[in-house]
């Protein structure tokens, strides 16, 4: 089985199946096809499947021409029919791994996907989990399910873990040039999985076990979470001391060693950083440990939307206004600039708190024209038109996401008060007295 699959991979004739066609899975599927592999994409969302079949994209930074080109060549096969899981030679799992309301891992998507695969698993297939999870997931959760088929891992089928490293909207790094960590349950599994990823990635980084690969992914995100929490705490301290934290970071960044700049903001967003660290802190409790850095970083980052709301209240009070009854415009819903991804966006808790305190809240985001229900929030709202008249009519404009398309000079000129959580107005000269940093 191993030699047959390796020959197929070498010839790029092995069919690659990607399960979950979101911000990770869709770029991966397209990369595999563009590298010459036959592909089949799986998703439970029939609307996504239909859009792809029509040659359309639902992720802004993915050029629809890539999809249309594959479609014209007859190379784009996408489906919501999971009975076809016996067709691919290599199956890559890219499904969500959210947290429960109690901040515990919710692996229901992974389990359901693994059960679907197990029902169709055949000799000669390789299965790789890319979704982020706690160390031990591949070995403790997937492997027992697949063993129930009677097939032997490392001989009849091949199982491993290779964490996704997708950065939506990044113009430099993509699935074709980001080094790929790869691992396998057995040495033969690692050999097969490495052979595949060598064909689609710029560089592979083999590690000794799936647990190492799973841990490495969490460490990457915990590193960012802890450092963002640190700089967010420094922002609050700097404000109280009357110091510009962004100037401090710029000055510290001139040191050519021993310092990596991180930047404060209104809170964490995206699927990874607000979620993934808690997978490890949850697992740590199984070993009698409390991951104090992870928990503290989480507390600080989760508190930032409330800090932003407090700064809005202070700024309004300084101008003789009460938050209750005030008109507040939120600029930017996406969790980071120039993407249409609103997952875990700090804009939502900020809006929620403002509305509960009696403010009238509207929003504008050039990439998100209408809000959709999330796991926590169900705003029924469409983006307002950003005009001079509207800017002049609101009591405060709050910059939550610093999209490049915004003209910040123009915004400050026509707004009465601008609360800036991203240092987006740093180059604005006229009207600085209207700007309050948060």
Catalytic residues: 272
The rounded distance, in Å, linking the Cα atoms of 302 and 56 is: 36
> Is residue 325 helix, strand or coil?
coil
Give me 377's structure tokens: 């929030």
Give me 418's structure tokens: 């601008």
The rounded distance, in Å, linking the Cα atoms of 315 and 325 is: 15
**3-state secondary structure string, 28-85?**
HHHHHHHCCCCEEEECCCHHHHHHHHCCCCCCCCCCHHHHHHHHHCCCCCEECCHHHH
Angle of helix 292-318 relative to helix 277-286, nearest 10 degrees? 140
DSSP string of 232-275? HHHHHHHHHHT--HHHHHHHHTT-SSS-------S---SSSTTT
Question: In terms of Cα–Cα distance, which of 78, 74, 184 is closest to 128?
Answer: 184
Is 89 exposed, middle or buried (CB count within 10 Å of its CB: 0-12, 13-18, 19+)? buried
The rounded distance, in Å, linking the Cα atoms of 59 and 66 is: 12
In eight-state DSSP terms, residue 365 is -
The rounded distance, in Å, linking the Cα atoms of 82 and 46 is: 12
Question: In terms of Cα–Cα distance, which of 277, 249, 247, 245 is closest to 262?
Answer: 249
In eight-state DSSP terms, residue 347 is H
Angle of helix 187-200 relative to helix 2-11, nearest 10 degrees? 10
Q: Could you give the residue ranges of the DSSP H alpha helices within 262-318?
A: 277-286, 292-318
CB 73 within 8 A of CB 108: no
């Amino acid at each position: 089985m191993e030699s047959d699959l390796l020959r197929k991979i070498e010839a790029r004739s092995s069919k690659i199946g990607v399960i979950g066609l979101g911000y990770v899975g869709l770029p991966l599927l397209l990369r595999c096809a563009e590298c010459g592999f036959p592909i089949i994409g799986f998703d439970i969302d029939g609307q996504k499947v239909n859009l792809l079949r029509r040659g359309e994209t639902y992720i802004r930074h993915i050029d629809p021409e890539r999809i249309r080109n594959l479609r014209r060549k007859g190379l784009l096969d996408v489906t919501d029919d999971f009975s076809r899981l016996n067709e691919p030679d290599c199956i890559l799992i890219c499904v969500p791994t959210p947290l429960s309301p109690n901040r515990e891992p919710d692996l229901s998507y992974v389990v359901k996907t693994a059960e679907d695969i197990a029902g169709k698993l055949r000799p000669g297939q390789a299965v790789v989990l890319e979704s982020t999870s706690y160390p031990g997931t591949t070995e403790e959760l997937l492997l027992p399910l697949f063993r129930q088929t009677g097939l032997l891992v490392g001989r009849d089928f091949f199982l491993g873990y290779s964490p996704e490293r997708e950065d939506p909207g990044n113009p430099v790094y993509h699935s074709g040039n980001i080094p790929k960590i790869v691992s396998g349950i057995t040495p033969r599994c690692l050999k097969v999985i490495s052979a595949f990823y060598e064909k689609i990635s710029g560089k592979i980084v083999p590690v000794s076990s799936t647990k190492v690969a799973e841990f490495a992914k969490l460490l990457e995100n915990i590193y960012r979470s802890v450092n963002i929490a640190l700089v967010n705490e420094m922002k609050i301290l700097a404000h109280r001391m009357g110091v510009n934290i962004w100037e401090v970071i710029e000055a510290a960044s001139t040191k050519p060693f021993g310092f990596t700049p991180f930047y404060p903001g209104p809170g964490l967003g995206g699927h990874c950083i607000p979620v993934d660290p808690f997978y490890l802190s949850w697992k740590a409790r199984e070993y009698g440990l409390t991951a104090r850095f992870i928990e503290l970083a989480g507390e600080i980052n989760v508190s930032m939307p409330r800090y932003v709301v407090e700064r809005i209240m202070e700024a309004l009070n300084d101008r003789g206004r009460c938050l209750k009854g005030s008109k507040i415009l939120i600029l930017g819903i996406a969790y980071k600039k120039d993407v249409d991804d609103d997952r875990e966006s700090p804009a939502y808790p900020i809006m929620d708190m403002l509305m509960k305190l009696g403010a009238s809240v509207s929003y504008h985001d050039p990439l998100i024209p209408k809000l959709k229900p999330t796991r926590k929030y169900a705003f029924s709202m469409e983006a307002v038109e950003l005009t001079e008249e509207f800017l002049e009519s609101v009591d405060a404009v709050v910059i939550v996401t610093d999209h490049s398309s915004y003209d910040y000079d123009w915004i400050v000129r026509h707004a009465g008060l601008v609360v800036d959580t991203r240092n987006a107005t740093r180059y604005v000269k006229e009207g600085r007295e209207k700007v309050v940093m948060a």
